[in-house]
């Protein structure tokens, strides 16, 4: 970095420069951090002709126009400097405005600030309204501007060439070049096509090998618009020197840590500096921006951890730090398939996937979760194999610290790892590779007995069959495959009969693909789904009957729920039809009219709402009960309304 500092100082102290300097480096390598923490201070300590140099920094990220650049410079340079305001009313212009002064004056006029507006209305000439003589301008994130980069570079060149203003541009030269070369690509292609058409290039020549349409256009575009011309031409005119920036990652990491005001956090991070550096190295990038975001996220977690879980020790906290860093480098850098981390529910789910995915999907070449573990946790030196933390994944991905998820997960960790998980559960959750021999032989027998007795939660039988089949293949469990299948399947049925909780089907077999040739495993797969659907029906039946019970108590809420939460659910297929009948009879005539509208809308087109076809059988019973009631009563407005509702049900097909 010293050569960059020396080069910049030499450039600023040199008179009559008519060029800018480019600090070139990859995105996130610490260029902006270098400017803010080091270079800016060095520049502002330079004294020329008795005057200290000033700096004006402008990020071009998301800039959409040159006018927006003007405004940002004014805001940064003028409104942060009270002396400038003073000069507006006290100074006079005798000579010409600099290019920057003209720009800023125009912007200031349009801002309608009273003191400035009054000054601008006078016909008196003022000088040095905005004096940029001793100011170094820094333009950052050039490649991330949302307007034409060539226009921005031309704009900057205007100040450099006419005023001799010192300008430092921070960016990634490769991306700047690529942006310039790909701008107006559609127009370039159209132009190339028109010229080729006029040249008759699209007509086939039988004597020559055929060239594809796209290849012809690309070749012509390349010859018409040489890819290097645009950037090279502008660079040769504007950029006098390019300084390549490579970050001192360890030093910047230490500086980031030392900037945190919490001494205990600083000590903890410094003690784990090797983990921070190793994780960054394993990511394949030394992105300072992502590192800073990851450590900021960890700071939030650290504060909550120390409030309620400090007694659990630093080993768990170290595991959280490592995962937060790893997840940040994957998610923030947009690594392919990083969304697979979002589908994992907890650490047990993570370890289970790693252990069983290879057994189930033996021919699958790429598995992101296993790759993630190998990439960042290959050393297996994690406390009790703690790797994945859902609350951290949510924080990194969405910027939300979910306290409820954090507390639930920390309690699970305490129960499973601090208070020790039984070996038989470790076997069923994580496979057999993490158990010592003596521990394994005892655990496999206990686990198997609990499985055949139906004492294990029904969702675990699918993986349990895969596990014990593998143990048999490796000759560390003695049982015929056919007997294994029969006993575990019977255990699954028992477990299903005892189960009360439905599981989100999205995550039931996430990440596992059952081969159509594996008929045994397919049976466990199908039975598990069948049990889960049955539990869902029970849950929905309970929820729907509860909904019906409130029909006459809070009719308005009932209608809102039916039109939103339960619109696509077969509510009436699960409910007690006698209760529904009584509740409707007790409604006011006005509310029966609203029920008619609800039924008309709900069953107007069952092709768009096929699940609700399940309602028909129960509704036909309701129709019959209404008709019996109507026959037994003299005509009234209520019987007329009930007849209309009955007719709607009769027409449901």
Q: Determine the Cα–Cα distance for residues 12 and 48; give it in Å rounded to an integer.
A: 9
CA-closest candidate to residue 562, choices 513, 599, 515, 608: 599
Residue 230 lies inside a defined structural domain of this protein: no
* Inter-residue contact 108 to 120 (CB < 8 Å): yes
Q: What is the DSSP letter of 96?
A: P
In this structure, is the dihedral angle defined by the CA atoms of residues 453, 455, 460 and 463, taken in order, positive or negative?
A: negative
Instruction: Identify the three-state secondary structure at position 135.
Output: strand
Q: Write the DSSP symbol of residue 35.
A: I
| 3-state SS class at 177 | helix
- One domain, residues 38 and 148: yes
Task: Quickly count helices (H) and strands (E) in the chain.
Answer: 33, 7
Residue labelled with tokens 């402008």:
58
Contact of 200 with 221, CB cutoff 8 Å = no
Look at residue 353 and tell me if it is in a domain: yes
Q: Cα(622)–Cα(46) distance, rounded to whole angstroms?
A: 89
Query: CA angle at residue 314 from 330 to 265, to 5 degrees?
Result: 75
Q: Is residue 185 part of a domain?
A: no
The per-residue pLDDT for 406 is: 96
The pairing of beta strand 20-24 with beta strand 166-171: parallel
User: Both 516 and 561 in a single domain?
Assistant: no
Instruction: Please tell me whether residue 106 adopts helix, strand or coil conformation.
Output: helix
Q: How far apart are CA 420 and CA 384, in angstroms?
A: 9
Domain endpoint, select from 510, 536, 562: 536
The distance from CA 78 to its chain's CA centroid, rounded to whole angstroms, is 38
Question: Do 406 and 486 reside in the same domain of the chain?
Answer: no
The boundaries of the domain holding residue 290 are 249-421
On whether both 161 and 38 belong to a single domain, the answer is yes
Output the six-digit token pair for 229: 């011309």
Residues 362 and 461 in one domain: no
Q: pLDDT tens, 17-71?
A: 889 999 998 877 888 888 888 899 999 999 988 889 988 888 898 888 888 888 7
DSSP assignment of 624-635 equals HHHHHHHHTS--
Write down the pLDDT at residue 299: 96
Asked whether residue 39 falls in the same domain as residue 171, the answer is yes
Domain assignment present for 205: no
Is the same domain home to 403 and 281? yes
For the chain, how many structural domains are there in total? 4
* Per-residue pLDDT at 205: 58
Question: Which mean pLDDT values do the consecutive 10-residue runs of the chain (653 residues) have?
Answer: 87 88 84 88 91 89 86 65 48 45 54 48 41 82 85 85 86 78 60 69 60 70 59 77 82 87 92 91 86 95 91 86 96 92 90 83 77 83 76 96 94 72 87 89 96 94 94 95 96 94 76 84 94 86 83 87 86 88 94 93 86 92 96 95 95 88
- Domain assignment present for residue 354? The answer is yes
Angstrom distance (rounded) from CA 363 to CA 512: 12
Domain membership flag for residue 242: no
Structure tokens at 587: 């409604």
- Are 524 and 565 found together in one domain? no
Helix (H, G, I), strand (E, B) or coil at 582: helix
Residue 460: HSE in the Cβ half-sphere, 13 Å Cα cutoff = 25
Query: How far is the C-alpha of 350 from the C-alpha of 376, rounded, in Å?
Result: 14
With respect to residue 626, please indicate whether it lies within any of the assigned structural domains.
yes
Domain boundary among 478, 507, 536: 536
What sign does the dihedral 296-297-300-304 (CA atoms) show?
A: negative
Q: Both 72 and 152 in a single domain?
A: yes
Which domain CATH number covers 121?
3.40.50
Identify the domain boundary among 352, 387, 421. Answer: 421
My answer on whether 383 and 451 are in the same domain is no
* Residue 514 sits in the same domain as residue 561: no
> Any idea how long the chain is?
653
Looking at the structure, tell me whether residues 510 and 481 fall in a common domain: yes
Quote the tokens at residue 543. 């929820």
Give a yes or no: residue 265 inside a domain: yes
Which run of H or of E encompasses 22? strand 20-24
3-state secondary structure of 72: helix
* Tally of CA atoms within 13 A in the half-sphere of 397 that contains its CB: 19
């Amino acid at each position: 970095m010293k050569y960059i500092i020396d080069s910049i100082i030499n450039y600023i102290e040199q008179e009559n420069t008519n060029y800018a300097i480019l600090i070139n480096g990859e995105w996130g390598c610490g260029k902006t951090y270098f400017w803010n923490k080091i270079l800016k201070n060095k520049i502002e300590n330079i004294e020329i002709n008795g005057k200290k140099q000033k700096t004006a920094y402008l990020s071009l990220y998301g800039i959409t126009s040159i006018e927006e650049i003007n405004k940002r410079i004014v805001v940064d340079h003028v409104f942060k400097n009270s002396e400038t305001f003073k000069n507006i009313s006290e100074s006079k212009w005798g000579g010409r405005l600099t290019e920057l002064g003209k720009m800023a004056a125009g912007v200031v006029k349009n801002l309608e600030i009273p003191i400035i507006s009054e000054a601008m209305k006078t016909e008196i000439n003022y000088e040095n309204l905005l004096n940029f003589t001793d100011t170094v301008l820094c333009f950052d994130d050039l490649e991330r501007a949302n307007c034409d980069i060539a226009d921005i570079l031309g704009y900057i060149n205007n100040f450099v060439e006419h005023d001799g203003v010192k300008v430092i541009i921070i960016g990634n030269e490769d991306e700047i070049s690529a942006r310039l070369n790909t701008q107006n690509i559609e127009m370039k292609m159209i132009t190339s096509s028109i010229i080729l058409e006029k040249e008759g290039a699209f007509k086939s020549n039988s004597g020559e090998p055929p060239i594809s349409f796209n290849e012809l256009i690309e070749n012509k575009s390349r010859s018409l618009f040489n890819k290097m011309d645009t950037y090279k031409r502008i660079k040769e005119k504007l950029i006098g020197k390019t300084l390549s920036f490579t970050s001192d990652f360890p030093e910047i990491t230490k500086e980031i840590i030392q900037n945190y005001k919490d001494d205990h956090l600083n000590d903890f991070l410094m003690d784990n500096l090797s983990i921070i550096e190793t994780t960054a190295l394993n990511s394949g990038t030394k992105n300072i921006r992502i590192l800073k975001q990851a450590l900021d996220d960890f700071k939030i977690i650290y504060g909550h951890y120390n409030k309620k879980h400090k007694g659990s020790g630093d080993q768990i906290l170290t595991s959280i730090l490592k995962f937060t860093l790893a997840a940040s480098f994957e998610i923030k850098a947009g690594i392919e398939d990083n969304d697979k981390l979002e589908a994992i529910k907890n650490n047990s789910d993570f370890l289970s996937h790693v252990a069983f995915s290879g057994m189930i999907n033996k021919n699958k070449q790429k598995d992101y979760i296993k790759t993630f573990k190998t990439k960042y946790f290959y050393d297996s030196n994690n406390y009790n194999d703690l790797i994945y933390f859902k609350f951290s994944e949510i924080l990194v991905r969405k910027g939300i610290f979910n306290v409820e998820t954090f507390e639930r997960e920390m309690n699970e960790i305490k129960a499973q790892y601090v208070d020790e998980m039984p070996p038989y559960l470790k076997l069923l959750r994580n496979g057999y590779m993490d158990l010592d021999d003596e521990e394994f032989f005892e655990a496999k027998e206990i686990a198997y007995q609990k499985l055949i007795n139906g004492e294990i939660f029904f969702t675990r039988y699918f993986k349990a069959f895969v596990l014990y089949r593998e143990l048999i293949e490796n000759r560390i469990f003695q049982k015929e495959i056919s007997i294994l299948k029969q006993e575990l399947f019977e255990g699954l049925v028992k477990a299903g009969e005892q189960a009360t909780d439905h599981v989100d089907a999205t995550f039931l077999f996430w990440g596992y693909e059952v081969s159509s040739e594996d008929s045994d495993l397919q049976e466990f797969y199908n039975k598990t789904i069948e049990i889960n659907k049955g539990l869902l029906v029970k849950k929905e039946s309970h929820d729907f009957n509860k909904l019906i019970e409130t029909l006459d108590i809070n009719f308005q809420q009932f209608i809102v729920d039916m039109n939103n939460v339960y619109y696509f659910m077969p509510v009436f297929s699960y409910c007690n039809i006698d209760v529904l009948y009584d509740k409707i009879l007790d409604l006011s005539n006005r509310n029966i009219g609203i029920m008619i509208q609800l039924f008309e809308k709900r069953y107007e087109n069952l092709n768009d709402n096929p699940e609700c076809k399940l309602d028909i059988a129960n509704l036909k019973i309701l129709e019959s009960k209404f008709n019996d009631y109507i026959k037994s009563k003299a005509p009234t407005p209520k019987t007329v309304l009930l007849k209309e509702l009955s007719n709607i049900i009769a027409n449901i097909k």
